[in-house]
Amino acid sequence: MTSTNRFASRLALSLAPLAAAASLALVGCAADDVTALGDENAMAAEGLGLGAQGKDVRAVYEHLRRFGYYQNEELAEHYADWTPAVSREPADPARFDEALEEGVRLYQAQHGLPVTGIVDAETQRVMHMPRCGHPDYYDPPGVVPTFEVGTPYSHAGGTWSSSALSYRFDNYTSDLSQSAIRAAVQSAMLRWSTVTKFTFTEVTSGGNIVIGFYTGDHGDGSDNAFDGKSGTLAHAWSPGSGIGGDIHFDDAESWSTSSSGTHFETVALHELGHALGLGHSSYDYAVMYPTYSGVDVYLSSDDHAGIWSRYAAYNAPSGCGWLNAGEGLGKGESVWSCDGRFQFIFQNDGNLVLYKNGSALWASGTNGDGADRVLLQEDGNLVMYKSTGQKVWETDSNSTANQYANLAVQNDGNLVIYRSGGGVAWASNTCCH
Ligand SMILES: [Zn+2]
Ligand SMILES: [Zn+2]
């Protein structure tokens, strides 16, 4: 805890220091043009733009500076090769000039807001949401996304060289039972492992990912001190030894398994993304979007695309007869029945076909649809995806009852997805040959 891996990026889910901006006022506009948004947010609907001056402008500048838009010595120290998103500085941080407008435009683009260059009510609302301390517009060189230029996901730090990861609880919060904490973490890990080749095993000493709850300055540097209830919720470190991969939750929060407090599994799922090497996405539906806005425990296609841009999506099948949960097929790969009579192949044209002696018994009919991988997910669903994360086809056999299912390529010519506890979740109904 006391050692700091300089290659591990710190990622903090934190509330921006915008106390002063809570009373943003329109400059150069008659008082009766000002629309109060509420007691705490007496801000003009028209917003703050070019020519405005004062402490509210400075607060916007400080917010953007903190998250990577302007020169910042702390960010430069913590993030290798980091440079500000805006190459010039405002002449006066308390005066809204073109340099600040450029930063506001980039901020709006990162957060999926209309790009106006004006800090309007919606932009201010987003600035007030809890979020990570990870700088926006930061991709370490050499790890830029490879699938599509301009995809919203991003990377942070390095990657794990092994797919078998271990984790350990350093301590727990009194807000939740240990079994509830463990169940939430396992559920979050399952969501990542179901679309990757990662396995997560709990250990009682050591561990790649150490998980704990802390308050205030808790031993990983005063910069990383937690700040009491709300504000900073958690932070995580990107893959690496020592503190790399570790996830710290602010124990001053009211952690909850429902929406009544800060939803623990939601934050754990996001922080795990950082622990696996992802940065932030600009899609607000993505788990890796910078801000926290309530319960969200489902990875989006953008999260899939992000993790697949760093790691293989599946384990290749080992041996005949089966696809086990977490295994899949790339283009041209196949599983044979153990008697060698039936071939289940994901063809280069994107079609998934079961052949007997060169004649098709069953096919998904997805040739030309652009899928480039097939996964037997740990939720029991057999899914064909594009590398962008878009689902092309599925057996629709996902169910909690199907966890750790297996797909059998049987000697009788039937394809069957068996539930882990027994029973059939899906079948091609091509028996018996
Ligand atoms: Zn984050
Ligand atoms: Zn910490």
- What pLDDT, on a 0 to 100 scale, did the predictor assign at position 349? 94
Residues with CB under 5 A from ligand 2 (ion): 220, 224, 248
Q: What is the pLDDT of residue 79?
A: 64
Element (H, E) at 329: strand 328-330
Distance 248 CA to ligand 2 centre (A): 5
Which listed residue (62, 271, 327, 378) is catalytic?
Answer: 271
Using only C-alpha atoms, the chain has a radius of gyration, in whole angstroms, of: 25
Q: At 354, is the pLDDT very low, low, confident or very high (cuts 50, 70, 90)?
A: very high
- The CATH class of the 164-308 domain is alpha beta
Sign of the dihedral through C-alpha 274, 276, 282, 285: negative
Name the pLDDT band for 392 (thresholds 50, 70, 90).
Answer: very high
Residue pLDDT, tens place only, 41-64:
334 457 999 999 999 999 999 989
pLDDT in tens, 227-284: 888 777 888 888 888 888 999 999 999 999 999 999 999 999 999 998 998 888 888 8
Contact residues for 1 (Cβ-Cβ < 8 A; gap 6+): 170, 218, 219, 220, 243
Model confidence at 39: pLDDT above 80: no
Mean pLDDT value of segment 122-146: 68
Looking at the CA of 271, which ligand is closest?
A: 1
Do the domains 164-308 and 322-427 sit in the same CATH topology, yes or no?
no
Distance CA 138, CA 81 (A): 9
Report how far ligand 2's centroid is from the alpha carbon of 171 (Å): 13
pLDDT score at 248: 92
Q: Any idea which architecture 322-427 has in CATH? A: Orthogonal Prism (2.90)
Q: What are the extents of the domains in the chain?
A: 17-127, 164-308, 322-427
257-261, 296-300, 399-403, 428-432: range with lowest mean pLDDT = 399-403
Tell me, yes or no, if 74 is annotated catalytic. Answer: no
What CA–CA distance (Å, rounded) separates 158 from 151?
A: 19
Position 417 pLDDT exceeds 70: yes
How deeply is 179 buried, as exposed, middle or buried, from its count of CB atoms within 10 A (0-12, 13-18, 19+)?
A: exposed
Least confident of 74-88, 141-155, 407-421: 141-155
Which CATH class name applies to 17-127?
Answer: mainly alpha
- Among 18-22, 82-86, 133-137, top mean pLDDT goes to 82-86
391 alpha carbon to ligand 1 midpoint, in Å?
25
Q: What is the pTM of this model?
A: 0.66
Tell me, in angstroms, the distance from the centre of ligand 1 to residue 291's CA.
Answer: 8
What was the pLDDT predicted at 181? 98
Residue range 176-234, pLDDT digits in tens: 999 999 999 999 999 998 888 899 999 999 999 999 999 988 887 666 678 888 777 88
Q: Go through 215-249 and write b for each residue having 16 or more CB atoms within 10 A of its CB, e for each that does not.
A: eeebebeeebbbbeeebbbbbbbbbbebbbbbbbb
Q: What is the pLDDT of residue 138?
A: 66
Give the confidence band of 132 by pLDDT, cuts at 50, 70, 90.
low
Q: State the pLDDT at residue 433.
A: 82
- Could you tell me the distance, in angstroms and rounded to a whole number, from the CA of residue 220 to the centre of ligand 2? 5
Spacing, Cα 234 to ligand 2 middle (Å): 8
pLDDT of res. 291: 85
181 C-alpha vs ligand 2 centroid, how far in Å?
A: 18
